[in-house]
Amino acid sequence: MTLDEFFVGREEARLIFEAVRVAVDAVGKAEIRVTKSQIAFRRRRAFAWTWMPGTYLRSQHAPLVLTISLRRRDPSPRWKEIVEPTPGRFTHHLELLSAADIDDEVCSWLREARIDAA
């Protein structure tokens, strides 16, 4: 699947995704893998994903969610949800309402996650 196919009819989500991609590029190189359900940013393993909750939820939702994998539970109140799928690995879900949500704090989380994915 291509990025264009993934975002068909979801222009707002695509604009926010492009801001995420710029932020990831700013912290270092990453491979992008597009699947039917999400877009992963990878080094040796994936460290961040974007996905559209509207694909799965019928209620009010953000156009795009950024999920970041960290080795710690980050205390920021910005996270919608934090899950520990395996011991010592925490997935943090951040709702993105606009490209402006991608700020220095988000970039620092992406940098940390990218380093851990080496």
Per-residue model confidence as pLDDT tens digits over 49-95? 999 997 666 666 899 999 999 999 999 999 999 999 999 999 999 99
AA identity, residue 74: D
Average pLDDT in the chain: 95
Burial 83-110 (b: 16+ CB within 10 A, else e): eeeeeeebbbbbbbeebebbeeebeebb
Please state, in angstroms and rounded to a whole number, the distance separating the CA atoms of residues 93 and 2. 23
Confidence at residue 36, expressed as pLDDT on a 0 to 100 scale: 94
Q: Which two tokens stand for residue 53?
A: 């909750």
Task: Please report where in the chains the tokens 């597009």 appear, as a residue.
Answer: 34
Tell me which of 14-18, 24-28, 60-64, 74-78 is least confident.
60-64
Q: Residue 110 pLDDT more than 70?
A: yes
Q: Where are the domains of the chain?
A: 3-100
